């Protein structure tokens, strides 16, 4: 059983399930509570279909998919200005790019790091304290070339206690 991922798929599934539910009601068929379970599924699908935040565009993920190639040597720099793991410099081949959990924006990467055989997972979540830069090829951390394949940055918040 596959779950719908787009709004059109939810609409098609809703129409199909409502048709099946009407048939079960007309036939007075509720064998093993199938009609009740189907009605609960329709209820859930209707809530997802009309959930406004779920269907908002996710521009960072779409930009990453459009500009970052798979299975090529790349260098990623992920910066989180707050919290642990503030700066990650990763060199390797991106095997897969996954969409973020809704309603957030960002991306999940499966990367085979330089010198390794198995992929590792890294996540970039868009927040007010994060930046992501992707360069083609293996680039040294001290010499960053001018134009990256993809760059996304949000300005870190002003910290008044640190400025004094």
Model confidence at 120, pLDDT cuts 50, 70, 90, reads: very high
Nearest to 45 by CA among 18, 14, 2, 16: 14
3-class state of residue 77 by DSSP: strand
- Percent of the chain exceeding pLDDT 90 equals 13
Give the chain's length: 164
Q: How far is CA 50 from CA 1, 2, 18, 42, 120, in A?
A: 22, 20, 16, 12, 35
Contact 90, 133 (CB under 8 A): no
Record the tokens describing residue 151, joined without a space. Answer: 């760059």
Q: Give start and end residues of each alpha helix (H) in the chain.
A: 7-26, 34-49, 59-67, 160-163
Record the tokens describing residue 93, joined without a space. Answer: 């081949």
Model confidence at 17, pLDDT cuts 50, 70, 90, reads: very high
pTM: 0.61
For the stretch 84-103, pLDDT in tens is 657 888 899 999 988 877 67
Tell which wins on pLDDT, 141 or 149. Answer: 149
Tell which wins on pLDDT, 18 or 106. Answer: 18
Nearest to 78 by CA among 89, 64, 69: 89
First and final C-alpha spacing in the chain = 58
- pLDDT number for residue 80: 74
């Amino acid at each position: 059983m596959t779950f719908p991922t787009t709004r059109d798929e939810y609409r098609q599934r809703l129409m199909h399930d409502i048709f099946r539910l009407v048939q079960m009601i007309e036939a007075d068929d509720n064998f093993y509570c199938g009609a009740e379970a189907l009605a609960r599924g329709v209820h859930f699908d209707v809530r997802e279909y009309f959930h406004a935040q779920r269907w908002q565009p996710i521009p960072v993920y779409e930009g990453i998919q459009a500009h970052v190639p798979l299975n090529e040597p790349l260098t990623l720099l992920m910066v989180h200005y707050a919290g642990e793991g503030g700066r990650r410099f990763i060199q390797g081949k991106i095997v897969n790019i996954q969409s973020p959990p809704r309603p957030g924006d960002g991306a999940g990467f499966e990367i085979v790091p330089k010198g390794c055989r198995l992929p590792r997972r890294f996540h970039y979540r868009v927040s007010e304290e994060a930046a992501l830069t992707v360069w083609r090829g293996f680039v040294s951390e001290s010499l960053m070339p001018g134009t990256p394949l993809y760059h996304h940055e949000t300005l870190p918040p002003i910290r008044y206690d640190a400025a004094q």
